[in-house]
Amino acid sequence: MKEQNSIPSSKVARSAKFVGTGIKIGGNYIKHYSKKLFNPDLSKDELNEDNASDIYNSLSQLKGSALKVAQMLSMDKNILPKAYVDKFSLSQYNAPPLSGPLIVQSFRKHFGKTPEKIYDTFNLKSTNAASIGQVHQATLNGKKLAVKIQYPGVGSSISSDLKLVKPFAFRLLGMSEKELDIYMKEVEERLVEETDYELEVKRSLQFSNACADIPNLVFPAYYPELSGPRIITMDWIEGLHLKEFLQTNPSQELRNQIGQALWDFYNFQQHELRAVHADPHPGNFLITPEGKLGIIDFGCIKEIPDDFYYPFFSTTSTELLNNKEETIKAFRLLEMILPKDNAQQIEFYYQNYKEMITLFAEPYMTGEFDFGQTHFFDALYTFGEKIAKMPEFKQARGVKHFIYVNRTNFGLYNILHELKANIRTDTYRPHVQLAY
Residue 266 lies in a domain: yes
- Domain identity same for 33 and 165: yes
Q: Does the structure show a pLDDT above 60 at 27?
A: no
- Domain identity same for 384 and 256: yes
Q: Which residues of 251-267 are buried (b: 16+ CB within 10 A; e: fewer)?
A: eeeebbbbbbbbbbbbb
Residue where one domain finishes, among candidates 173, 205, 220: 173
- CB of 423 within 8 A of CB of 371? yes
- Domain identity same for 326 and 414: yes
C-alpha dist (Å) from residue 134 to 5, 131, 232, 306: 14, 8, 10, 35
Alpha helices in 271-390 (DSSP H): 306-313, 318-321, 324-333, 343-360, 362-365, 375-388
- The identity of residue 183, as a single letter, is Y
- Judge if pTM exceeds 0.85: no
- Domain identity same for 166 and 272: no
Question: Would you state the pLDDT for residue 77?
Answer: 42
- Domain identity same for 36 and 160: yes
- Domain identity same for 259 and 380: yes
- Domain identity same for 261 and 169: no
pLDDT single digits (tens) 184-226? 777 778 888 888 999 999 999 999 999 999 999 999 999 999 9
Identify which has the larger pLDDT, 141 or 99: 141
In 3D, which of 299, 25, 65 has the Cα closest to residue 166?
Answer: 65
Local structure of 221: helix, strand or coil: coil
Identify which has the larger pLDDT, 126 or 179: 126
pLDDT single digits (tens) 254-264? 999 999 999 99
- Domain identity same for 169 and 247: no
Question: Would you state the pLDDT for residue 346?
Answer: 96
- Domain identity same for 22 and 161: yes
Residue 187 lies in a domain: no
Q: Does the structure show a pLDDT above 70 at 9?
A: no
pLDDT single digits (tens) 383-396? 877 887 788 877 66
pLDDT single digits (tens) 52-85? 555 555 555 555 555 555 555 544 444 444 544 4
Residue where one domain finishes, among candidates 114, 141, 173: 173
Residue 297 lies in a domain: yes
- Domain identity same for 319 and 425: yes
Q: Which residues of 120-135 are buried (b: 16+ CB within 10 A; e: fewer)?
A: eebeeebebbbbbbbb
Q: Does the structure show a pLDDT above 60 at 356?
A: yes
Number of domains forming the structure of the chain: 2
- Domain identity same for 78 and 163: yes
- Domain identity same for 161 and 275: no
Residue 30 lies in a domain: yes
Residue 162 lies in a domain: yes
The DSSP bridge pattern shows strands 143-150 and 217-218 to be unpaired
- CB of 287 within 8 A of CB of 295? no
pLDDT single digits (tens) 156-165? 667 766 776 6
Q: Does the structure show a pLDDT above 80 at 364?
A: yes
Angle between helices 402-419 and 64-75 (to 10 degrees): 60
Q: What is the mean pLDDT of the chain?
A: 80
CA distance 160 to 417: 36
Question: Would you state the pLDDT for residue 75?
Answer: 42
Least confident of 137-146, 167-176, 220-229: 167-176
Percentage of the chain lying above the pLDDT 90 cut: 45
Residue range(s) defining the domain that contains residue 293: 242-436
Residue 401 lies in a domain: yes
Local structure of 187: helix, strand or coil: helix
